[in-house]
Amino acid sequence: MGWTPLKIKLSNRIFEKEKEKLTPETGFNLVSIDYFQDIGSQLYLIEHFQMYQDALNAKKDRKNQDEYFVLYKDQNNEFCCR
């Protein structure tokens, strides 16, 4: 099997605890993944934003947009990743 795109890998259950840990109570966190780190510490915070549009713009400014994700809680307090 070949390389799996990062989008699919981030949704993998392996990252659930990391995503929960990096999801802010309010606002939006731009995060990335470091495949060279041990499982459980591969996701890391790039920057926190108060507005989703600012986080999305920061993601769009990155060279490899597929390597960055926005984590936040929705109106039902559920974890979301875009």
Domain parsing of the chain, residue ranges: 6-81
Residue 79 has pLDDT above 80, yes or no: yes
Q: What is the pTM of this model?
A: 0.80
Which of 8-12, 69-73, 77-81 is predicted least confidently?
8-12
Q: What pLDDT, on a 0 to 100 scale, did the predictor assign at position 12? A: 60
- Nearest partner of 14 among 54, 43, 36, judged by Cα: 43
Could you report the per-residue pLDDT of 26-65, keeping only the tens digit for each? 999 999 988 898 888 889 999 999 999 999 999 999 998 8
Q: What pLDDT, on a 0 to 100 scale, did the predictor assign at position 38? A: 87
> For residues 66 and 30, which has the higher predicted lDDT (pLDDT)?
30
Helix (H, G, I), strand (E, B) or coil at 44: strand
